[in-house]
Amino acid sequence: MKGAMATGTLTIDLDAVAANWRALDHLSAPDVQTAAVVKADAYGLGAARVVRALAQAGARRFFVAVAEEGAMVRQALGPGPQIAVMAGHMAGDTEMIHDLDLTPMLNSIDQITRHLEALPGHPFGVQLDTGMNRLGLEEAEWQAVAAILLEAGPELVMSHLACADDPDSPMNEEQLTIFRQMTDGIGVPRSLAATGGILLGPDYHFDLTRPGVGLYGGQPFEAASRVVTLSLPVIQTRTVALGETVGYAASWVADGPATIATVSGGYADGLLRTLSNASVLWDGNTPCPLVGRVSMDLITVDVSHLPDMPRYLDIIGPHQTVDDLAQAAGTIGYEVLTSLGRRYVRRYIEGGA
Ligand SMILES: *Cc1c(COP(=O)(O)O)cnc(C)c1O
């Protein structure tokens, strides 16, 4: 850890990402392909590095949300691996889809028309809506165009589960039934499961799975290896007396003499304001409460009980996962990951070093 730096250090273990991909791959049968969802800059961890590590681990198919992300991933991977765009074929994306060999997942009759007219013969997939009501063709639309689409030879037909993180939700089986009704016998590779769907078991796996958050060590993949460590430098320490307050709105009041560390990192770095007075940072194995409000660039931490003043404190690490932090903030691990700030120095561990 370089003590002179005033920005936090985000350490991303690419070996753990690769291990998580392999572990998720092993949860489905050998003839089921495991793709990798790398949208939103690989959930905030840096798509260029992450996709190369995943390709090295054996991933051959990558999913992004929008074509611009696909362009970035193509640049990192070079020709070969398939890059699927879940937003489909938007007006204005044609050239990028063509030139960078992206595979749009077509979501609507408009997109189908656009794609087949603008880029006949160019690979595509189809997204079906099975109840989430977000993206994809509805049952009646699918019935109307399925013959034409199947004639054009889609690479994949996919849908997405709304409640896969809850194995007890009856919606999982409902969507599975609808997906089967819509696609049984079409003779095209199918995909329904993201991370949660993989954990629901083989009925949900079809030909291809699309894990995202599990690759990055997040719930609901309990068995995941930890990927992220976030260490924040201590800028200054001070003592406060009984009755003194700390931070904006004076929301924390010392109930005795205390030592407060001011740490670099705030809501502009993705440390959500709801963590105010509601989380801990760690000095090795020792928890230290976050006191007062999270401000834009700084947080304040009670370190009164530490024998020595630390140079940095961990807010994500061995004792506090991304999901633990999300729970303290009242959100989900996905939001914590994708909010990780641009100011952090991103340090990658690869090949065990
Ligand atoms: C984000 C997303 C995924 C990946 O989901 P995780 O829960 O992160 O595994 C897969 N498919 C679609 C359509 C998505 O939007």
What pTM does this model have? 0.96
Mean pLDDT of 323-335: 98
Largest CA distance in the chain: 77
pLDDT tens-place string over residues 118-158: 999 999 999 999 999 999 999 999 999 999 999 999 999 99
Active site residue 39: yes
pLDDT of residue 2 exceeding 50: no
155 closest CA partner among 101, 78, 100, 92? 101
Query: What is the CA(37)–ligand 1 centre distance, in A?
Result: 6
Mean pLDDT of 304-310: 97
Mean pLDDT of 38-64: 98
Atom of ligand 1 nearest to the CA of 158: 13
**Strand, helix or coil for residue 198:** helix
Q: Does the beta carbon of 160 lie inside 6 Å of ligand 1?
A: yes
pLDDT of residue 3 exceeding 50: no
Active site residue 348: no
Query: What is the CA(127)–ligand 1 centre distance, in A?
Result: 13
CATH fold, domain 228-349, is Lyase, Ornithine Decarboxylase; Chain A, domain 1 (2.40.37)
Mean pLDDT rounded to a whole number for the chain: 97
Mean pLDDT of 332-336: 98
How far CA 317 is from CA of 21, 231, 248, in Å, comes to: 20, 8, 27
Atom of ligand 1 nearest to the CA of 218: 8
Hey, what are 225's tokens?
Answer: 């290896």
Q: Does the beta carbon of 114 lie inside 6 Å of ligand 1?
A: no
Mean pLDDT of 279-299: 98
- Output the pLDDT for position 39: 98
103 and 84 Cβ atoms separated by less than 8 Å: yes
pLDDT of residue 353 exceeding 90: no
CATH fold, domain 15-216, is TIM Barrel (3.20.20)
Query: What is the CA(200)–ligand 1 centre distance, in A?
Result: 15
Catalytic residue among 43, 204, 216, 248: 248
Spell out the domain ranges in the chain. Answer: 15-216, 228-349
Q: Does the beta carbon of 194 lie inside 6 Å of ligand 1?
A: yes
Of the pLDDT bands very low, low, confident and very high (cuts 50, 70, 90), residue 4 is low
- Output the pLDDT for position 1: 47
Q: Does the beta carbon of 231 lie inside 6 Å of ligand 1?
A: no
Count the neighbouring beta carbons within 10 Å of the beta carbon of residue 187.
6
- Our mutation pick for probing the ligand 1 site, out of 28, 37, 38, 45, counting the most ligand atoms within 8 A of Cβ, is 37
Atom of ligand 1 nearest to the CA of 195: 9
